[in-house]
């Protein structure tokens, strides 16, 4: 199986819970501590006797989420706020610690099999509540409840989207076959989605939550869709051709893919309603690895039409195509940033160098190398807020999932998952 996958890749480009309603009001209060980030105090949750475990789980998840977000200077060890209607005494103590805002949670049992969690955020300077929301869930939903609450706080205080309630899909070989898995953005809740007992790779999230991927389950590289809500896997593009998923259009109505026919592999677009295919690249070389721009008007793709594989951009309305990379020996797997300003990709500067992760702007004039290890770093994808990049790396001797900031800093292992991991994609 490993040999088949290697041949497949080299053929293309040889190495020559229901959430609470989201906050829609941005608090927008300046910090009082002179720092660029607001200082956010995290107080210990209050709870009743039957909800202690749940309170600890939610507070621990929120602590990790808010620290990882990089939006706040997180402070701890201040007093618990026991009377949310009159918090001035405790907030005075938090102010001495430098806090601009303070988060206080309260957990309680609903008397049946669920739990109620209330989250408050206080503005220290005015002693006022600037965020208050109630959440409800069963014991097994506490982790996700914490993620949702964290994202709501990020939105309320910064006006920006949080990513705590997102997930990463990827291929992994722990079973001896390559299957599709998902995990929370922090590596928790690992779950295997397929049992194809073959080669399953290239998961791509759609806006509706489905995951499209390519699999050899029918002994041919075909495209399937995982309907997480229904718990079903459905065929999408099955033929005797090569069918490699590239990306899902932002409106969820089309797939971009690499497909073979009588000629070399080319980029095709599939209408998911009619199932009609349209070939959108025409060259004497091999074209593949397509991805849509955030507005759906362009695709980035890879072609060896000029020699070594390089990244190109096509205007879908006119077919106008231009080459983006020019200074690299090899480039592959382009992915647009959510803002549309940058493309992240895997590449190398010379045939003697390992593969690394790069950024390039839309003019092609700015290129930045984000990794520089002796081992290969591949398969980069953006977080939905554009602030982080997930990728695979061989730096520890096997292919593992890492996440780093979008400037290449703070790389860290997503989770210690057995086997080798490939082709991640971050949920929308």
Q: What is the reported pLDDT for 28?
A: 58
Question: Does the pLDDT at position 368 exceed 70?
Answer: yes
> Which has the higher per-residue pLDDT, 131 or 14?
131
Q: Average pLDDT, stretch 346-374? A: 95
pLDDT at 33: 55
CA distance 337 to 132: 33
Whole-model pTM? 0.91
Q: Name the percent of the chain lying above pLDDT 70.
A: 92
Give residue-wise pLDDT tens across range 412-421.
Answer: 999 999 999 9
20 has pLDDT over 60? no
Helix (H) or strand (E) holding 235: strand 232-237
Q: Return the domain boundaries, the chain.
A: 39-158, 166-426
31 pLDDT tier (thresholds 50, 70, 90): low
d(CA 109, CA 286): 60
Mean pLDDT of 271-293: 95
Q: What is the DSSP string of 377-416?
A: EEEEEE-TTSSEEEEEE-TTSS-EEEEEETTS-S-EES--
Average pLDDT over residues 6-24: 43
Q: What class, spelled out in words, does domain 166-426 have in CATH?
A: mainly beta
Rounded Cα distance, 323 and 341, in Å? 16
**Closest to 7 measured CA to CA, from 174, 223, 222, 199:** 199
- Residue 427: the pLDDT is 98
Residues 334, 256: Cα–Cα separation, whole Å: 13
- Assess if CATH 1.10.1060.10 describes domain 39-158: no
User: How does pLDDT run across 104-158, given as a tens digit for each residue?
Assistant: 999 999 988 899 999 999 999 999 999 999 999 999 999 999 999 999 999 999 9
């Amino acid at each position: 199986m490993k040999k088949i996958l290697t041949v497949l890749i080299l053929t293309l480009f040889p190495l020559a819970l229901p959430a609470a309603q989201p906050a829609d009001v941005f608090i927008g209060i300046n910090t009082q501590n002179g720092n660029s980030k607001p200082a956010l105090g995290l107080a210990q949750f209050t709870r009743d006797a039957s909800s202690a475990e749940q309170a600890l789980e939610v507070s621990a998840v929120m602590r990790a989420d808010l620290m990882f977000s990089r939006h706040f200077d997180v402070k701890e060890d201040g007093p618990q706020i026991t009377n949310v209607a009159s918090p001035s005494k405790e907030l005075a103590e938090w102010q001495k610690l430098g806090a601009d805002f303070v988060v206080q949670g309260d957990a309680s049992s609903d008397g049946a099999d669920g739990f109620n969690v209330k989250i408050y955020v206080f503005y220290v300077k005015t002693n006022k509540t600037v965020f208050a929301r109630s959440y409800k869930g069963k014991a097994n939903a506490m982790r996700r409840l914490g993620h949702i609450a964290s994202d709501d706080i990020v939105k309320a205080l910064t006006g920006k989207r949080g990513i705590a309630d997102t997930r990463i899909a990827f291929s992994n070989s722990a079973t001896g076959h390559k299957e599709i898995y998902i995990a929370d953005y922090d590596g928790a809740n690992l779950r295997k989605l397929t049992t194809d007992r073959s080669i399953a790779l290239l998961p791509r999230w759609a806006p509706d939550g489905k995951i499209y991927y390519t699999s050899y389950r029918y002994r041919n590289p075909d495209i399937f869709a995982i309907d997480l809500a229904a718990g079903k896997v459905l065929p999408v593009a099955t033929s005797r051709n090569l069918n490699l998923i590239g990306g899902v259009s932002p409106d969820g109505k089309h797939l971009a893919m690499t497909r073979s026919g009588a000629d070399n592999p080319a980029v095709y677009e599939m209408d998911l309603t009619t199932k009609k295919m349209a070939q959108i690249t025409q060259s004497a070389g091999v074209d593949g690895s397509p991805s849509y721009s955030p507005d759906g008007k362009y695709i980035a793709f890879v072609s060896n039409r000029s020699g070594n594989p390089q990244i190109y951009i096509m205007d879908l309305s006119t077919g106008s195509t231009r080459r983006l990379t020019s200074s690299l020996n090899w480039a592959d797997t382009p992915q647009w940033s959510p803002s549309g300003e940058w493309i992240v990709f895997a590449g190398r500067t010379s045939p003697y160098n390992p593969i690394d992760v790069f950024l390039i702007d839309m003019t092609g004039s700015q290129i930045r190398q984000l990794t520089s290890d002796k081992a290969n770093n591949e398969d980069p994808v953006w977080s939905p807020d554009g602030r982080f990049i997930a990728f695979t790396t061989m730096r520890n001797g096997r292919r593992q999932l890492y996440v780093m900031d979008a400037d290449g800093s703070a790389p860290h292992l997503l989770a210690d998952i057995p086997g080798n991991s490939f082709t991640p994609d971050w949920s929308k």
